[in-house]
């Protein structure tokens, strides 16, 4: 506990340093201003002529529409006029809502930045224009549609500027053109894609029409002029927040959406797959070829409720996991990559850095990490202004061979209640029922019950909490976990403190736990300092500190801890960065520890490390980023280097290389020397955003595993795809090989 008190004192010192330094920053034009009491009003008009979505905006309907401009900077100079400005028009007809934007650039097409054309591209790496809608005028939730100069699509849903569903894929169309004076984006958003109130709600005031004729929605626009690294929006918002902070949004009037239709989306698919497997040097190669038919149905029951059904669920086109070298005493967290589970994940998955009561990767994966077939499932989500309801059920088939994993049933229930302006409280229940192979007798059942919430007493202050309990029948008993975090975000500094508790018996069979029997404390903070004397190539100076302390939940004993400070941390005007980090570590190993084949004995260890990072502009044609660290590692030394290199001469082609090297010396009981490295080249080719090829290779020296993932995709109409996929996993240690060749066609029809 004495060590924890020392770290806590350091945290308070850092906080005082932040508060003492911030008045200099307050002299800048960077205060957290309040949302406007009366939102700005813009108008949408009915199209006066047919609209052809070609990225040109040359029809009479566009010329007749009023122009929205006067964007305000968010970065770098909050509140100042955007230079250049952006022109936006909004029109609609009986089937679609259209957004047209002209984004000037003094260099024309030569000044535009777009490293690739993949869907859901990185926000900060591209020139970008986007629109956000709040049809229910909640001032908390948003549907956002964004694009880059080459027409790549990025769509997401956000809730309270806190939870982001970036994997939400809506049915919409966009086309763009690049000219000598900038670029043009033309979006077509079907009314069936947009969920909005029934007739009579959100009626426009003073429209002169009946409530059924015209409505008003919350709306905002965002633009990133990447060459200048300038973020602007209409209306503006404080730079400490994102464009999802809809309390700062404008209001659009004049919309006349049709009455909600049945809005049913059907997506059948067919898969042809061949698996080739050899388990050893003298083993025969097993070949299995199969044809699989299945599909998904999405039914919008009303403007706020959606039912998803899936049969013979298939994830053949999902990205392959990237291998990692784990040198820490924690389980590795691999992100979910399967589309069915990614959608609406924000509603179902309250999470913390160390545990999640529900993590969808536990569904459809066996104990050996290999995929298991899913017979089918259903998901129901219902979001209104005041609450959110969700339910999920999936049936997983077992393994056929003797001693294999039995079939299982997975169920999740979720309730989320909004209260006040930006607060909520939620309940999450998960249940996994494992069914024995003989006569359906249950041999294991696991249930978790969790309560979580968000409290935002003011715009800068956010409180998060999560309490969870687990019950395992058939062995395991009862366990509990808890988490609380407070953060304060301004334009001058950010501070937070979070605390977690995980008991030894906490076992969420449908969740994730980094480590059990743990109490964790993590104060953290950084300055955002923009003095007038700084060099012009530096945007801000952001020194930070972080404290990590781990104790045993059962005995309170110290397990490990670190104190890190970055006295030099520079964000560059280009979007690059440079920092220097100093870190002190203490470890108390209760048992032996075995990373990368080096056995480290139980005991107490102290060591220091130094880390340096430098990264160039991530939007440029040639990008390079590297992180290097050196110092102690338990009773020896560790030198570690990570590097990323990408060359993208145009948005049509990109070649990247990621690498990691770890050099351990005199580590462990036997004072071993060990080198462990990862290497991963990747090639991306795109004819346009709808026809793409990616090829990824990775080799891990620690695991002696080589992995190939090659995927060609053709989106022949919105969200309808043809995929060709090749996967290979080569284990040189066991001299085994697995190969998979997949062809998949999926077609989507919206009624």
Strands 230-234, 141-147: pairing kind: unpaired
- The CB-side HSE value for 64 (13 A sphere, CA atoms) comes to 12
Asked if 650 and 117 count as a contact pair (C-beta separation under 8 A), the reply is: no
- DSSP symbol at 532: T
Scan for tokens 């309040």, then name that residue. Answer: 34
Question: What pLDDT was estimated at residue 502?
Answer: 96
Judged by DSSP in three states, 135 sits in coil
Structure tokens at 549: 């302390």
Identify the pLDDT of residue 190: 93
Listing DSSP states for 646-705 in one string gives: EEEEETTEEEEEEEEEEEEEEETTTTEEEEEEEEEEEEEEEEETTEEEEEEEEEETTTTE
Q: Strand pairing partners for 295? A: 268, 311
pLDDT at res. 94: 93
Spatial CA neighbour of 477 closest among 502, 446, 431 = 446
CB atoms within 10 A of CB 608: 12
- Could you report the average pLDDT of every consecutive run of 10 residues in the chain (751 residues)? 45 44 46 90 94 94 95 95 96 96 95 94 95 92 96 92 83 96 97 79 50 78 96 94 93 90 86 90 87 90 87 75 84 76 78 90 74 88 88 84 71 93 92 69 78 92 95 84 96 96 94 93 96 94 97 94 97 96 96 91 96 97 97 96 97 96 95 95 96 96 91 93 94 88 92 79
Output the pLDDT for position 400. Answer: 59
Whole-number pLDDT of residue 317: 67
Structure tokens at 272: 């042809």
| CA angle (661 as vertex; 660, 664 as ends), nearest 5 | 145
Q: What is the pLDDT of residue 12?
A: 45
Dihedral sign, Cα of residue 281, residue 282, residue 287, residue 288? negative
How remote is the C-alpha of 364 from its chain's centroid?
Answer: 21
Please state whether beta strands 622-633 and 672-688 pair in parallel, antiparallel, or not at all (unpaired).
unpaired
Q: Is 218 left (phi over 0), alpha (psi -120 to 50) or beta?
A: beta
Q: Which DSSP string corresponds to 288-343? A: EEEEEEEEEEEEEEETTEEEEEEEEE--TTSPPPPP----SSSPPPPPP--HHHHT
b/e sequence 220-257, b meaning 16+ C-beta within 10 Å: bbbbbbbbbbbbbbbbbbbbbbbbbbbbbbbbbbbbbb
- Residue 583: which residues within 8 A CB-CB, separation 6 or more? 562, 563, 564, 565, 608, 609, 610, 611, 631
SS3 (DSSP) at 545 = strand
Q: Are 155 and 169 in contact (CB under 8 A)?
A: yes
Is the sign of the CA dihedral 38, 39, 42, 44 positive or negative? negative
pLDDT at residue number 370: 67
What tokens were used for 663? 């050099």
Kindly report the backbone phi and psi dihedral angles of residue 705, in degrees, each rounded to the nearest multiple of 5, phi listed first.
-115, 135
Question: In the structure encoding, which two tokens stand for residue 134, read together?
Answer: 């709040």
Query: What is the third-level CATH fold of 33-255?
Result: Immunoglobulin-like (2.60.40)
Determine the Cα–Cα distance for residues 255 and 488; give it in Å rounded to an integer: 38
- Calculate Rg over the CA atoms of the chain: 27
Ramachandran angles phi, psi of 64, nearest 5°: -85, -10
**Using an 8 Å Cβ cutoff, are 28 and 540 in contact?**
no
Question: In angstroms, rounded to a whole number, what is the distance separating the alpha carbons of residues 59 and 52?
Answer: 8
- Per the CB < 8 A criterion, the answer to whether 426 and 416 are in contact is yes
Contact 401, 377 (CB under 8 A): no
Round to whole Å and give the CA distance between 330 and 326. 8
HEC readout, 397-418:
CCCCCCCCCCCEEEEEEEEEEE
pTM, two decimal places: 0.86
User: Pairing state of beta strands 558-572 and 636-650?
Assistant: unpaired
Q: Which helix (H) or strand (E) holds 72?
A: strand 72-75
Structure tokens at 110: 């030569």
Alpha-helical runs (H) found in 70-166: none
CA dist., res. 446 & res. 596, Å (int): 32
Where do the CATH 2.60.40.1190 domains begin and end in the chain?
A: 33-255
Closest to 169 (Cα-Cα) out of 732, 739, 721, 728: 721
DSSP structure string for 168-209: -----EEEEEEETTEEEEEEEEETTTS--PPTTSSBPTT-SS
């Amino acid at each position: 506990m004495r060590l924890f008190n020392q770290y806590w004192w350091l945290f308070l010192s850092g906080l005082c340093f932040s508060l003492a330094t911030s008045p200099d920053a307050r002299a800048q034009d960077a205060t957290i201003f309040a949302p406007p009491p009366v939102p700005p009003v813009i108008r949408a008009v009915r199209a006066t002529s047919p609209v052809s979505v070609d990225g040109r905006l040359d029809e009479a309907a566009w010329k007749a529409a009023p122009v929205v401009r006067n964007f305000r900077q968010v970065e770098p100079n909050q509140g100042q006029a955007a230079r250049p400005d952006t022109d936006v028009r909004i029109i609609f007809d009986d089937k679609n809502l259209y957004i047209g934007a002209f984004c000037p650039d003094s260099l024309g097409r030569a000044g535009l930045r777009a490293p690739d054309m993949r869907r859901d591209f990185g926000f900060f790496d591209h020139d970008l224009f986007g629109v956000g809608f709040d049809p229910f005028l909640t001032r908390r939730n948003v549907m956002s549609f964004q694009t880059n100069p080459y027409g790549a699509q990025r769509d997401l849903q956000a809730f309270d500027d806190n939870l982001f569903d970036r994997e939400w894929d809506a049915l919409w169309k966009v086309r763009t053109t690049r000219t000598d004076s900038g670029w043009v984006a033309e979006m077509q958003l079907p009314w069936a894609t947009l969920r909005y109130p029934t007739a009579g709600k959100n009626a426009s005031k003073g429209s002169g029409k009946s409530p059924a004729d015209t409505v008003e929605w919350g709306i905002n626009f965002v633009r990133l002029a990447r060459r200048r690294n300038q973020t602007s929006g209409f209306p503006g918002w404080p730079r400490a927040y994102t464009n999802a902070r809809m309390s700062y949004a404008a209001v659009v009037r004049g919309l006349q959406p049709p009455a909600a239709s049945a809005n049913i989306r059907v997506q059948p698919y067919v898969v042809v797959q061949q698996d080739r497997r050899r388990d050893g040097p003298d083993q025969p190669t097993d070949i299995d070829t199969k044809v699989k038919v299945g599909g998904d149905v999405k039914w919008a029951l009303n403007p706020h409720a959606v039912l998803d059904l899936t049969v013979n669920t298939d994830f053949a086109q999902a990205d392959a996991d990237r291998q990692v070298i784990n040198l820490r005493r924690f389980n590795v967290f691999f992100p979910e990559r399967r589309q069915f589970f990614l959608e609406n994940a924000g509603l179902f998955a309250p999470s913390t850095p160390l545990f999640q009561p529900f993590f969808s990767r536990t569904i459809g994966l066996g104990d050996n990490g290999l995929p298991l077939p899913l017979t089918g499932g259903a998901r129901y989500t219902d979001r209104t202004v005041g609450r959110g309801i969700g339910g999920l059920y999936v049936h997983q088939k077992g393994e056929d061979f003797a001693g294999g994993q039995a079939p299982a049933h997975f169920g999740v229930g979720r309730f989320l209640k909004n209260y006040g302006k930006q607060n909520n409280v939620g309940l999450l229940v998960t249940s996994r029922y494992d069914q024995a192979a003989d006569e359906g007798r249950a041999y294991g059942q696991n249930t978790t019950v969790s309560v979580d919430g968000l409290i935002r007493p003011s715009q800068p202050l956010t409180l998060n909490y999560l309490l969870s309990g687990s019950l395992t029948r058939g062995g395991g008993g009862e366990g509990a976990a808890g988490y609380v975090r407070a953060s304060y975000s301004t334009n001058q500094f950010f501070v937070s403190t979070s605390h977690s508790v995980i008991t030894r018996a906490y076992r969420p069979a449908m969740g994730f736990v980094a480590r059990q029997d743990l109490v964790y404390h993590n104060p953290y903070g950084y300055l955002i300092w923009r003095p007038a004397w700084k060099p012009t190539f530096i945007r801000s100076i952001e020194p930070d500190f972080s404290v990590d302390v781990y104790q045993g939940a059962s005995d309170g004993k110290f397990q490990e801890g670190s104190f890190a400070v970055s006295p030099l941390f520079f964000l560059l005007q280009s979007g690059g960065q440079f920092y220097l980090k100093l870190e002190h570590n203490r470890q108390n190993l209760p048992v032996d520890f075995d990373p990368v084949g080096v056995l480290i004995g139980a005991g107490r260890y102290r060591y220091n490390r130094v880390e340096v990072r430098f990264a160039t502009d991530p939007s440029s044609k040639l990008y390079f980023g590297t992180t290097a660290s050196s110092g102690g590692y338990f009773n020896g030394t560790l030198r570690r280097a990570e590097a990323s290199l990408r060359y993208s001469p145009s948005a049509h082609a990109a070649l990247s290389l990621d690498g990691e090297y770890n050099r351990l010396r005199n580590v462990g009981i036997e004072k071993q020397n060990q080198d462990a490295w990862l290497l991963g080249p990747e090639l991306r080719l795109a004819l346009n955003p709808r026809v793409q090829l990616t090829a990824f290779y990775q080799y891990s020296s620690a695991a002696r595993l080589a992995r190939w993932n090659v995927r060609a995709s053709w989106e022949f109409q919105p969200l309808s795809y043809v995929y060709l996929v090749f996967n290979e996993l080569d284990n040189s240690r066991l001299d085994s090989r697995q190969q998979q060749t997949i062809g998949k066609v999926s077609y989507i029809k919206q009624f």
